Amino acid sequence: MPPTFLIFLGLIIYLGLISVTVIVFVPMFFLDSKKLMAKKVLTTALVSFPCLITMGLFCAIIFVIPTLVFSWFVNSGYIPQTLGTVLTIIGVLIFVGSVAISSLYLWYFISKIIYQRIDKKPITEFLVKDKVFKFLQPYLVKLKLYHPVS
């Protein structure tokens, strides 16, 4: 089984989900009362898998060096095999947990921004209330990824 099999399997499931979503919600675009809801559901479904892939790649970049060093320690005999196996399982669980949590939050965050745009409301209304964004804001400003509006 190639290492990209799970990504391919996820893509197939994602395309199935998008197909069902399109079949169910595209007809709602013809009803004025349901048009807004159809836009929100379609954009939410379209954003889900790219968020998972993005955070998976980001976490993989962060975890790759510690994984290689740990692998070298285990293969060189510095760490006993049984302890290495236990630590590997813990590491995989931490990786999967961090990808799941961060991708779900990214999905929520991007969906809320898209909802604000669809509702023609200012995005700052959502950003002011978001606790995680408040926590990350000083770091985003330092990295010049966010410029606060006065």
pTM of the model: 0.80
DSSP 3-state assignment of 80?
Answer: coil
Q: According to the model, what pLDDT value does residue 133 have?
A: 85
Amino acid at 59: C
Mean pLDDT of the chain: 90
Is pLDDT above 80 for 34?
yes
Which residue in 1, 2, 4, 40 sits closest to 21, CA to CA?
40
Distances from the Cα of 23 to the Cα of 34, 57, 80, angstroms: 15, 31, 54
Tens digits of residue pLDDT in 43-69: 999 998 899 999 999 999 999 999 999
